Amino acid sequence: MKDKFFKYLHELQDTITSKLEMIDGSSVFKEDIWKRNEGGGGRTRIIENGAIFEKGGVNISGVHGKLPTSMESYFNVKNVDFFACGLSLVLHPKNPMAPTVHANWRYFEMYNKKGDVIDQWFGGGQDLTPYYLFEEDAVHFHQVCKAACDKHNPDFYLTYKNRCDTYFYNSHRKEARGIGGLFFDYCKSSQEISMSQWYDFVKEVGDSFLEAYVPILEKRVQLPFTKEQQNWQEIRRGRYVEFNLVHDKGTLFGLKTNGRIESILMSLPPKVQWVYDHQPGPKSEEEKLIRVLKTPKKWV
Residues marked as catalytic: 102
Reduced to 3 states (helix: H, G, I; strand: E, B; else coil), residue 193 is coil
CA distance 141 to 135: 10
Strand partners, 298: none
Using CA of residue 210, residue 293, residue 97, residue 57, what is the dihedral sign? negative
Residue whose C-alpha is closest to residue 98's, from 132, 64, 149, 54: 132
- Residue 216 main-chain phi, psi, to 5 deg: -65, -50
> Most distant CA pair in the chain: distance in Å?
63
Reduced to 3 states (helix: H, G, I; strand: E, B; else coil), residue 299 is coil
CA distance 255 to 154: 36
DSSP 17-86: HHHHHHHHSS--PEEEEEE-TTSEEEEEEEEES-SSEEEEEEEEEEEEEEPPHHHHHHHT--S-EEEEEE
With b for 16 or more beta-carbon neighbours within 10 A and e for fewer, the 94-131 pattern comes to bbbbbbbbbbbbbbbbbbeeeeeeeebbbbbbbbbbbb
CA distance 146 to 181: 9
